[in-house]
Amino acid sequence: MDFYAMLDQVVDLLRSRQRATYRTLKRQFNLDDAALEDLKEELFFTHPQIVDEDGRGLVWTGSPGSASDAPIPTVSSMVLEAHQIHEPLS
């Protein structure tokens, strides 16, 4: 699975469930320790509403589904939008 696709899935998971342990994330996404560290670094940098709780897991501190908590657009979503074809109006 692409790293950013996994990142988006983790954000969605946290937004809906509010928390997840690191052990569960490793199992769910088949992550080794290095990949988990990469994931955590990216999440903490790009999503300030996600925090570590006592080294056990991640917690969503934002309100579920609010506009201010919307995910930052990914490169793949921006490329897809840029390539959508719009027919000119006659």
Q: What is the pLDDT of residues 27-77, one digit of tens each?
A: 999 999 999 999 999 999 999 999 999 999 999 998 776 434 455 555 655
> Structural domain boundaries of the chain?
3-82
The letter for the amino acid at 13 is L
Least confident of 12-16, 55-59, 67-71, 79-83: 67-71
Higher pLDDT, residue 35 or 83: 35
Q: Would the pTM of this model clear 0.85, i.e. be above it?
A: no
pLDDT of residue 89: 62
Burial 9-42 (b: 16+ CB within 10 A, else e): ebbebbbeeebbebeebeeebebeeeeeeebbee
Tell me the average pLDDT across 2-11. 96
User: Of the CATH numbers 3.40.109.10, 2.60.120.200, 1.10.10.10, 3.30.70.2750, which one belongs to the domain with range 3-82?
Assistant: 1.10.10.10
pLDDT of residue 79: 53
Tell me the average pLDDT across 15-22. 97
pLDDT of residue 85: 53
